[in-house]
Structure 1
Amino acid sequence: MVQSAGESAMEATAPAAKRAVVTGASSGIGAATVRALVNDGWTVVALARREERLKALVAELGGKAGYVVCDITDEASTQAAVDRILAGGPVKALVNCAGAAFGKDPVATANLDDWRNMYELNVIGTLRITQKLLPALKKAPGGGTVLVISSTAGIEPYEGGAGYCASKFAEKVMARVLRLEQIGEPVRVVDIAPGMVHTDEFSLKRFGGDAERAAAVYAGVPDPLSAEDVAECVRWALAQPDSVDIDSIVVRPRAEGSYTKVYRQQ
């Protein structure tokens, strides 16, 4: 449900022309993006499944954001969330942060459910909420923006990553095709592809809670990207004039030349 006090407070103080919806907002890049946009004067509606985390984020921001509990892999949940969001006013931007990797197995032995879950979240979930909010985004003053957080995994495949790479390539292609299909319409489509980002949950989820394997991903790497680094890219892209479309941003830590070329201190 919507956090009523947060929604009321932010609608009273922030211009409707800068109202954004952020998915995957309970942790990582999504939560950092909510913070960055609120600090830049946006009204933000945070979407995720974990209500307690959303409540904590809204409280941290002093009620300057609201939230809606939403599972974008579920049709009814997403439709109900969109209905509540649009009842609260116009939407200027949709930031698709929700996503995850599950497993790192070879193609020959990969778990089908892992692949299915990655596609449901990273591809179908992004498509679902984008479709539902696109008409409203095009009615925003000056036009709206669909922004997708994809991954460099959608650019360069690597061993053990076929399922995640395929889902992120599909997400990137979806954003690119949407951009082509919407030429002449008042909407921007932005793709931001981060490389190595050290967040609390991404690798831990990928390896089924194995903290040792998750930590090894970042071992010895000086200054991997933070969620805040990616959120700043989002903030900057959205801050450009409505006539300027930042088609694609690839952002990596200095220590990462590619997935297979990473500098690690001994």
Structure 2
Amino acid sequence: MNITDKNVIITGASSGIGAAFAKAIIEKGGVVYGIARRQERLQELQRDLGDRFHPVVLDITDEPAVSTWVEATFSAGNYPDALINNAGLGKFGNVEDLSLDDWHTMMNVNLNGVFYLTRKIVPMMKQNPAHCHIINIASVAGLMGNPTISGYNVTKFGLRGFSDALFKELRYDAIKVTCVFPGSIATEFFDLAGSSTHPNMMQAQDVASTIVHILETPDNFLIDEITLRPLNPKRPE
């Protein structure tokens, strides 16, 4: 895909790797629809990135709102070209300590929100005469289970399964699907999740450059899954 003038939707765009994705894609000449709930952060990002960044204040777990926005924004002549399902959160703790609210919040954001947006975008991508791409940002927690993150594991394992099925469903519609499994990245995710960090975490801009590379691969070349890790993570105690 030549990213120039392509419409790229990014969820969780107001900070962290979502904001880094937006910056990297706009630097390539793309147009970004950045979705998040924090209006002030989106407006700050628009001031930094310019008119090619369209801030979209939207809760992806609100299915009617998602449907309304997609139908009002895209149509013949203004098709979506890429969707990066990046929004996600983790709530960590032993299974007996994980609250029902935390469980349902992870399921709603990490899985339901991805489904709500994808199911509305796919029909429009099928109408797009160009090749399109869906990138789902999972986690290494979608490849292996670990103590105290069982709920988060469920959502990321689920996203891997959804991505694999979707890739096989859409490949003959000229729609690529890639699932990305990042390890630890230096963002606010770990602070919000209440988990520890380490000095050798990956940097958001490096992850963003990898996403750009995946988008720019030739039309008949698909990276369906990719794992990203820091070379020297925190040593086991």
Q: Classify the TM-score, shorter chain.
A: over 0.9
Structure 1 counterpart of 2:81: 92
Structure 2 counterpart of 1:203: 190
Of the three residues 61, 68, 79, the one matched with 1:80 is 68
RMSD of aligned alpha carbons: 1.8
Structure 2 counterpart of 1:253: 230
For residue 147 of structure 1, report the CA deviation from its aligned partner.
0.6
Structure 2 counterpart of 1:242: 219
Q: Secondary structure at the match of 1:157?
A: coil
CA contact (8 A) 2:4 2:28 kept: no
Structure 1 runs, 4 residues or longer, greater than 6 Å off: none
Output the amino acid matched with 1:197: I
Structure 2: distance between partners of 1:263 and 1:33: 29
Percent same amino acid at aligned positions?
33
Tell whether 2:110 aligns with 1:122.
Answer: yes
Output the amino acid matched with 2:116: R
Structure 1: distance between partners of 2:170 and 2:153: 26
CA contact (8 A) 2:180 2:227 kept: yes
For residue 157 of structure 1, report the CA deviation from its aligned partner.
0.8
Structure 2: distance between partners of 1:52 and 1:225: 26
Output the amino acid matched with 1:134: V
Tell whether 2:205 aligns with 1:263.
Answer: no
* Structure 2 stretches lacking a partner, 5+ long: none
CA offsets 1:34-89 (integer angstroms, 9 cap, x no match): 00100111111111111111111011012221121111000122112212320581
For residue 243 of structure 1, report the CA deviation from its aligned partner.
1.6
Structure 2 counterpart of 1:27: 15
Output the amino acid matched with 2:222: D
State which drifts further: 177-186 or 234-243: 177-186
Of the three residues 85, 109, 131, the one matched with 1:143 is 131
- Max Rg structure: 1
Q: Secondary structure at the match of 1:179?
A: helix
Output the amino acid matched with 1:169: F
For residue 178 of structure 1, report the CA deviation from its aligned partner.
0.6
- Which runs of structure 2 are paired with 1:154-173 in the superposition (5 Å)? 154-173=142-161
Structure 1: distance between partners of 2:128 and 2:25: 17
Tell whether 2:138 aligns with 1:183.
Answer: no
CA offsets 1:178-225 (integer angstroms, 9 cap, x no match): 1112232210001111001110x2112212xxxxxx4xx224x33x11
CA offsets 1:220-242 (integer angstroms, 9 cap, x no match): x33x1122122112111001112
CA contact (8 A) 1:69 1:81 kept: no
Q: Secondary structure at the match of 1:241?
A: coil
Aligned length: 234
Of the three residues 150, 162, 181, the one matched with 1:174 is 162
Structure 2 counterpart of 1:107: 95
TM-score by length of 1: 0.83
CA contact (8 A) 1:142 1:242 kept: no
* Structure 1 stretches lacking a partner, 5+ long: 1-13, 208-213, 257-261
CA contact (8 A) 1:72 1:78 kept: yes
CA offsets 1:240-266 (integer angstroms, 9 cap, x no match): 11221110110011113xxxxx338xx
Structure 1: distance between partners of 2:4 and 2:202: 31
